[in-house]
Amino acid sequence: MTQSIPHSKSLSRAIIEKSSLKQEVYHKTLDVFNSFKRESEEFINANKLKMRKSRFPILFEYSDRSAFEFQLKFGSDILIFFMHSNVFEIPRDHLVMKSSYIREDKNRSYCGIIHIFNFLADSFKYNRTNDIGYCIGRVFVNREQHYFTEGKREIGLLYNNFTGNVLDQKAIRTVIHSSIMYTLNFDLLTPPYDNIKEVTVAEMQTTLDAMSISTGKRLGFRFQADPE
């Protein structure tokens, strides 16, 4: 059976409608991402003042890397927030797709995504390019600024009411604080002995910081298997 070719007007209308929807979602996500930047910078600045009373110097630093990336450095950790420039549709088998909120308007299932990555601060300080970071969470935002999160523990379990959750200033602050709290509780573990028992002369000569021995918070363990 030959598939009918859509009329040029209806095809143009479909292109305009889909492109307009994605542009709307993109700009809404970008607005939210800029709010994440402001809240994160305020958090860092507030803690810089508290740091003056600390017995030891503690790192607190905010870096605006680009329109789509910023970093929070605190203690021995870095959180990198990265907004993807594209818009995605939630997979059909995802739980939120079964909600009446999506069934009433399928366009609500189109979302921008903000990823949250955790790295060790020393990995960047000493240029340890073999070190490992983890995506600890991601935030999905639609054109109505409704959102849900996926991630580990504090990040993934608390914000899954896509129908009712709106990503306002309070919610943004909560996501940031939850990401920091998870990072603080996500400790660096000793790597398995078998991973480091053999070292080449070349590796030793280039010093420990440049060795190919990777450092990560769960090296040798399945991150996906961490208890929730």
Q: Which residues pair with 204 in a beta bridge?
A: none
Local confidence pLDDT in tens for the 228 residues of the chain: 456 666 788 889 999 999 999 999 999 999 999 999 999 999 999 888 777 666 777 889 999 999 999 999 998 999 999 999 999 999 999 888 999 999 999 999 999 999 999 999 988 888 888 788 889 999 999 999 999 998 876 565 556 789 999 999 999 999 999 999 989 887 765 666 666 566 666 665 665 555 455 666 654 333 344 444
Query: What type of residue is 172?
Result: I
CA within 13 Å, CB half, 61:
13
Q: How far is CA 218 from the centre of its chain?
A: 18
Give the pLDDT score at 59. 85
User: Per this entry, what is the length of the chain?
Assistant: 228
Give the pLDDT score at 127. 85
3-state SS class at 228: coil
| Count of other CB atoms within 10 angstroms of residue 112 | 26
Give the pLDDT score at 219. 42
Cα 116 to Cα 135: distance, rounded to the nearest angstrom: 6
Give the pLDDT score at 220. 36
CA within 13 Å, CB half, 205:
3
Element (H, E) at 24: helix 8-51
Is-above-0.85 flag for pTM? Answer: no
Residue listed under structure tokens 């790295």: 119
